[in-house]
Amino acid sequence: MAKTFETEQKQINIIGAGTSIVGDINCPGDIRIDGSLVGNLHVQGKVVIGTSGSIKGEVNCKNSEIEGKIEGKITVVELLSLKATSSIVGDIKTRKLAIEPGAFFTGNCTMSTSAPMVGPSVLNEEKKK
């Protein structure tokens, strides 16, 4: 009798080069952005910003690897990796930070053992106050 194994498939979302999105994105999996986003990004998995990718808004995720540009606050629960081609203008809150030589960063950085993920529901509650 053959054994059947069920595997969990994580869906990876891709915003391709040349694509522009205006608005917020909520993603339960991983996402790669090679285009541009003007809005907030809330991801339960990993965020990868390619060299041609850019975000103007807040980013909240579990892990992130940045090669492109971000203008706004970044909250990463575990590891934020800034590659040599990255450009960050805004505040960073993360547990672990890796920066390659050549990366550009302007803002404040807070590192702690507990960088909580700020989801869209928390942001909506703060706006009501």
28-71 residue pLDDT tens: 999 999 999 999 999 999 999 999 999 999 999 999 999 999 99
pLDDT for the residue 35: 95
pLDDT for 1 beyond 60: no
Cβ burial of 79 (10 Å; 0-12, 13-18, 19+) is: middle
Q: How far apart are CA 40 and CA 59, in angstroms?
A: 6
Q: Which pLDDT score is estimated for 86? A: 97
